[in-house]
Structure 1
Amino acid sequence: MSALRALRQLTASSSRSLAARAAPRAVTRSALAARVAPVSASRAFSVSARRLGEGASDAALSQRLAEELKYEKEATPAEEPEFLTTFKKNSPWTIQDTPGMDEVALVRKFGNEEIRLIFSIADIQNEQEPEFEEGEEGVEDGAEDAEASLPPYPLRCSFSFTKPSTPGALTIDAMCQDGTFVIDNISYYSDAKVGTDLTVEADWKRRGYYLGPQFDTLDISLQDEFDKFLAERGIDSTLAFWVPQYAEYKEQKEYVSWLKNVRDFVDA
């Protein structure tokens, strides 16, 4: 179990309404049914089942996967998106993204600090249309445009801060939504490896540590100073808008790869 997923069971224990607003991710994509025409029985049985495996349904499944893969490839830009190119060129953060994994890390140096941000694409939800009560009008055009540019889901994030001059580590758990990082709590570990390692052993040790108070229970002036501390290190609204953009970009790439891998397996 990864550190990001296991850290304090964030979505289960957090009292924040942001996490509560995230709807469960749909298991299937409704768009697939609308885009792909039904495969007729005659086409399904016109191909020998043993040519694609041992099941009579293999040919139909392979065809559906191929159609969805073709659609998604056509909808995916071949070139790197501008937001990503600009980020790589101008940002002090370095992206660590392993294909096939659902977590992404951003790392940077700030003075004598090593800073790491981890977020997961597993929180991405299908976008839902806003619901209005009977007789209620929608928001104004300007506000509607602004809302449309924001993702409808929060993303769980974990920050870690380490220094070579001290054995400890500071970690922050937050939710990224609406162009801001909403801090849940700030923890301190006397052993940096316990606080930052992405191993089962380190995760098990973390469960016995005091995790710090809920951030919103701290004195307001102390919260303000922590906000300044993060902003000075580039953990600000600019980064909070970028993270969901990259999460959606990676999720699309992983979905296309998943379609290809599954189809190749069915066809083998």
Structure 2
Amino acid sequence: MIRSHLLARRIATSMAAPTSSISASSSAIDVISRKYVHHPVLSSAITSPPPLVAAPSITAANSLNSLPLRSFSSSSARKLGSILSREIAEETEASYSSPGELPPELAELHSAISQDWTILEGITGMGGGGGGTGSGASVRMFKKEGGSNGAKIGIVFHCQDTEEDSLFNENELYEDQAADEEEQEDEEETTAVRFGVTVSKGGKTVVMQCRSNGEEGDLSVESVAVRDGDTESVLLALAGGEGLHASLYQGPEFTELADDLQEAFQTYVEKECGIDGDVAAFIAMYADYREQEEYVDWMKTAVGVLA
């Protein structure tokens, strides 16, 4: 039976050959036809020509191809918009304050800090009173009173320049040491915020990169560098993400300095610059607040453009 099928396909192929070859093989086909006319498989292959298939319409094919693309595109946009809108609603509902309104604890601290500091959001504008415009991701602070030697003092930080800081708090041991001899430790995740402190005088600025270790108000100095320019220009450059020029000397490795020199820098930041525990706590809390505000604004902009 397999051979019969193969022979049938060969016969069908020969019947579909060009006209020039049909006359040459017509006698052979007649012989085969008479011989296999009663064969159950070959008779249908010999007597029935291959069916003709109409070519598909180009216009119809293009229409079929374009419809699913438009459908998928609008469907994906609706889905993305729906998810973004859901996230916006959830973040707004979970917030302790209305958009643009400081949480009560932060508002109280902001009011206290503003007595000694001018606080600006954004990377343009120099004066106080809301002179800062643009994104509120970068925050600058200017001390209203200069240092003891007449130097101008400023602070700059970015709401995303943070990292998780693991604090290990040692629990008290159980009174029954036989029951539990291992020391228990609880790990608490807090957010540390990096910020720069600038001290400017005579067209030169010392930039001390510091770190506020969470809302407890602890701070530490991590590096000290020198730049040209006054407080306003250096703070604006740092807020704009320029950082310290790679071509300039970046200062010594701070941890390799003498211990008493490290402590002296730390004391200078706290006492002379007026960056006490309240200011450090404000930086950590305000960075968290600004990051949340920027995140919601980011989603609102995305849903307006993409959906």
Q: What TM-score, normalized by structure 1, do the two folds share? A: 0.63
Q: Cα gap change, 1:127/1:82 in structure 2, threshold over 3 Å: closer, same or farther? A: same
Match of 1:80 among 78, 102, 106: 102
What is the DSSP-based 3-state SS (H/G/I as helix, E as strand, rest coil) of the residue aligned with 1:123?
Answer: strand
Higher strand proportion: 2
Distance, in Å, in 2 between the alignment partners of 1:204 and 1:119 is 11
**RMSD value, Cα:** 3.7
1:4-49 CA-to-partner distances (Å, cap 9, x unmatched) read xxxxxxxxxxxxxxxxxxxxxxxxxxxxxxxxxxxxxxxxxxxxx9
For residue 262 of structure 2, the aligned residue among 223, 230, 240 is: 223
Q: CA deviation at 1:65?
A: 1.1
Flag the structure with more relative contact order, 1 or 2, with Cα contacts below 8 A and sequence separation at least 6.
1
SS in structure 2 of the partner of residue 83 of structure 1: helix
Structure possessing the higher radius of gyration over alpha carbons: 2
**In percent, how many aligned pairs have the same letter?**
24
How far did 1:172 drift? Answer: 0.8
Q: How does 1:130-169 map to 2 (within 5 A)?
A: 138-139=184-185, 152-163=190-201, 166-169=202-205
Shift of 1:138: 4.3
Aligned to 2:281: 241
List alignment gaps of at least 5 residues for structure 2: 1-68, 123-133, 169-180
Letter in 2 for 1:264: G
Q: How does 1:54-133 map to 2 (within 5 A)?
A: 54-76=73-95, 77-78=97-98, 79-91=101-113, 92-98=116-122, 100-111=135-146, 112-124=150-162
Question: How many Å separate the matches in 2 of 1:200 and 1:158?
Answer: 10
Q: How much has 1:231 moved relative to structure 2?
A: 1.4
Rate the CA distance shift 1:191–1:89 in 2: closer, same or farther, 3 A.
Answer: closer
**Conserved in 2, the CA contact under 8 Å of 1:108 and 1:115?**
yes
DSSP-derived class of the 2:293 partner:
helix
Structure 1: 5+ residue stretches without partners: 1-48
User: What are the Cα deviations for residues 111-163 of structure 1, in whole angstroms up to 9, with x where unaligned?
Assistant: 33322211122234689999xxxx96644xxxx6xx75xx6233222111113
Deviation at 1:196, TM superposition (A): 4.9
Secondary structure of the structure 2 residue equivalent to 1:96 = strand
Following superposition, the deviation at residue 180 of structure 1 comes to 2.5
Q: Give the paired residue count.
A: 206
Task: Please state whether the residue corresponding to 1:184 is helix, strand or coil.
Answer: strand
Counterpart AA for 1:58: A
Deviation at 1:70, TM superposition (A): 0.8
Note if contact 1:169-1:196 (Cα within 8 Å) is conserved in structure 2: no
Q: Distance in 1 between matches of 2:306 and 2:195?
A: 36
CA distance in 2, matches of 1:116, 1:71: 36
